[in-house]
Copies of this chain bind each other. A is one copy, B any other.
Amino acid sequence: MAFPRDTTLADVGEFGLITEMTKHFAQGEQVLVGPGDDAALLRVKQGHVVVSTDLLVEGRHFRRDWAEASHIGHRAAGQNLADIAAMGGVAHSMTLGLAVPSDLPAEWAVDFAEGFASECSLVGASVVGGDVTGADQIVISVTAIGAVAQAPVLRSGAEPGDVLALCGRQGWAAAGLAILKRGFRSPRVLVDAYRRPQPPYAAGPAAAAAGASALIDVSDGLLAEARHIAEASEVSIDVHTSALTIPDELNAVASATGADPLAFVLGGGEDHSLLAAFPPDVELPEGFTVIGTIGEPGGEPVTVDGEVYEGPAGWTHF
């Protein structure tokens, strides 16, 4: 390991930490100036960039006793890579801001950086710069920069008559979190889904290429994101629960905790699955399943099997 186990950030200092973290950040060919100057310089061949910023706060978005530092690194990167995928694009460059208590083990930050860089490498993105500073609580800030191969797919393009389709795990991370909150560690597949989501990055550009009319990543909950599409597109959306896949482990957790398994799938976020609308004649890209229909606006923007859903619809930030 880079630092002895009991070394804190106060011991190694800002620049000692940055040196160790940066060792994990391989630089792609687009990076003309990487970490270490006032700013990074990136070559942009495509005539545009797609940019997204997200924050993760300790105790709110993650707990150190529930996931290893490297997992939190994977999640922090994945959440932002998924935002670029949700435009139909691919991230090529990332910046990382890390506000951390001075008594944090230095090794935690280095393991975090390793997981962060590892997740970025899944799509070929480089960590090109960032900032490290002290704080009472860990706050992670990530900016992802990427490109789209054609016009970006917005939230606002869905039309009545389109189909609603989902790609990726949905509800697994929420069930994993429910398990951890009760002090358990299994079923492992769900806990791991929470600790280290597996967003279907390639499905974003694939949806764009296939002609998706709207696209969003599910970070706050399936129904919450469906509502974002419905409101931005001025349509209504009906989700068909018979089309939703619920793995056995999720049913088991729901049964053990007295929860409705559908509540995990409809209300759960943080899997960063991709939710899309496609015109009815489009052949769906691999991995997408039709889970609902897009209708005319008026009345409830999002319904479940034709009815208003009374369960928890998503995550509240305050």
Residues of A within 8 A of B (CB): 9-10, 13-14, 32-33, 36-55, 57, 59-61, 83-84, 86-87, 89, 93, 95-99, 102, 128-137, 139, 141, 143-146, 148, 152, 154-156, 215-217, 232, 316-318
Contacts and interface: CB of A to CB of B under 8 A. Distances in A.
Majority SS at the chain A contact face: strand
A49 B43 CA distance: 7
A175 B205 CA distance: 53
A95 B48 contact: no
8 contacts: A38-B155, A39-B52, A39-B89, A42-B49, A55-B133, A55-B141, A60-B134, A137-B137
B139 A99 contact: yes
Contact of A53 (B45, B129, B217, B316): B129
Contacts of A143: 51, 53, 95, 143
B139 A318 contact: no
A169 to B, nearest CB: 18
Most chain B CB within a 10 A radius of its CB, from A33, A46, A49: A49
Contact of A317 (B39, B59, B132, B316): B132
Most chain B CB within a 10 A radius of its CB, from A39, A44, A47, A97: A39
Contacts of A13: 316-318
A139 B93 CA distance: 23
Given A48-B44, A51-B128, A57-B99, A86 B38 contact: yes
Nearest to A128: B51
A33 B318 CA distance: 26
A155 to B, nearest CB: 6
A54 B131 contact: yes
Given A41-B50, A51-B128, A136-B137, 8 more contacts: A37-B152, A38-B52, A39-B152, A51-B143, A51-B145, A55-B133, A55-B139, A137-B137
A135 B134 contact: no
Given A10-B318, A137-B135, A317-B134, A51 B39 contact: yes
Contacts of A97: 53-55, 97, 141
A33 B144 CA distance: 15
Contacts of A33: 87, 152, 154
Given A57-B135, A86-B39, A52 B99 contact: no
Most chain B CB within a 10 A radius of its CB, from A14, A32, A55, A132: A55
Contact of A40 (B36, B37, B50, B318): B50
Most chain B CB within a 10 A radius of its CB, from A86, A87, A318: A318
